Chains A and B, each alone.
Chain A
């Protein structure tokens, strides 16, 4: 709870700093505040608290782990914002504040124990993102992204809310434990309201995490939004969406897995193929990352399809690997974009000579996203596939491996452009904050890949 309070109060402090034109202080204050929030979150580790405030929220190991990874990712992304927001307009404090408001919503989403809290958290996050997508007011693509995201998001929220209402109608409760008890009390009984509600909730949540066939908003929104916001959306927001998804299904709906599992399995397979095959044909690096984020949503869905006690850890490892690798990719994209003003694959030509450090960390990120051994991405995929195989989903794993091979093609296009194509561009300067973020993320990717015991030895999160 302290974490949530700190993250909710921090943006108000930042707004005051903005009021007094203390723009230099914004980033340090944010970093200190987020570190404090991270510290209070980690102190809750292994505390085994009961749900608080009439069973509204539960801060257990699951919530601590996902709060931790979302706060760290937000920190890394905000460090990249040095000098970025100033180019859009003077209202820098407001941008920081809205990103942190959205993070407050995310903390609610990973710690809820009641469907009303899920809804409130999801809305806080989404409304902040609708605004963030459109902060580049003079840019047509940014406006389009914001409006599209808003309309689609509002529509999908309708589905989610309808699902929650139907489940309340059947079980007379919003409480996750009460819903679970209701399900165990009515075994083998196809309740029309309850099961329709579960399907509607699946639709609503798949929309939010960008799984096919509910992915149509993703490429346009990710491409149109300012790059830093896209980085936030495709890492932190996606992690939070999956954490919320996983908590609801692992606590409440696990005993009717036979009912929703086939639906989710079809969604997973479609997501994998749509994401990977479309990413092959992209000319813009940013759009490629958008489609690759769809395909990663497919891999993350594996943990929910093969729901078991190890699912929480699998999602945690995968989300960590994916987030840090994506942050590297977006950071390099930001630098290249600032130099050349373009996000096509050609603008990465000769990056190996222009700046060997950037080329090296981007190579590590691409290898991790493709799931090559000795990187964190490989460990993430390994645990996902292991979980699915232990549930005898052999065909699902075979399809996923085929997709992983497809994905190597488009991830390697960047590496080839960087090392084997030449360009006349001058060398690229890397500011200090970027060096820290890139170095830290690349190191984390390698450490988790080479010595995975630091994350795999965690106790089961659910």
Chain B
């Protein structure tokens, strides 16, 4: 239980640092640490597959890609547009309302049996595979359309046109 609270504290602490860091590159680095704490959460919950996927795909691949993009864009303070105070106030009110709702919702929940999983192997790769290829086979297969469409689109947007046609 104490491990959970410690890791949860770290998650919140680093995600706050993501927002408050002035340098975007630092922001992404903090985001990587935040995602690492999520991986530990998954391990605690005995969701091994999610932990590994989170570690490899999100932390390893996507955020490192993010980091490269950030470095290539070369963002610095001068190029950052100035946000007006009004927008900041509206943002704080809107975000605050959502936070109050969510905190109240979580607080209103009845406590479940802490850390006792009904089925300790719930998150194992074997069980996940059975669910994915049994009950959730159709969404799993239909997702292939999503990937194919995204792939075609990425190639389409990235290729150079051989000749410059007249644009509309």
Footprint of B on A, CB under 8 Å?
A: 4, 8, 11-12, 15, 53-54, 56-57, 84, 86-91, 94-95, 97-98, 101-102, 104-105, 108, 114, 116-117, 120-121, 123-124, 127-128, 130-131, 134-139, 166, 192-193, 195-196, 199, 226-227, 337-338
Contact = CB atoms under 8 A, between A and B. Distances in A.
Interface in B146-168: 146, 148-150, 152-157, 159, 161-168
Contact of B146 (A95, A114, A120): A120
Q: Which 9 A-B pairs have the closest CB atoms?
A: A131-B153, A192-B108, A192-B105, A101-B149, A53-B138, A196-B105, A56-B138, A116-B139, A124-B146
A89 B146 contact: no
Point out which of B102, B105, B162, B165 has the most chain A C-beta atoms below 10 A from its C-beta: B105
Interface string B119-150: 00000000000000011111100110110111
Nearest to A118: B139
14 contacts: A11-B149, A54-B135, A54-B136, A89-B161, A98-B156, A117-B139, A120-B139, A127-B149, A131-B150, A131-B157, A192-B105, A192-B106, A192-B109, A199-B101
Nearest to A8: B145
B142 A120 contact: yes
A102 B148 CA distance: 11
Interface residues of B, number: 36
A11 B150 CA distance: 13
Contacts of B101: 196, 199
B72 interface: no
Contact of A127 (B150, B155, B163, B167): B150
A408 B3 CA distance: 64
A87 to B, nearest CB: 5
Contact of B167 (A102, A121, A136): A136
A91 B155 CA distance: 11
B71 to A, nearest CB: 19
B165 A101 contact: no
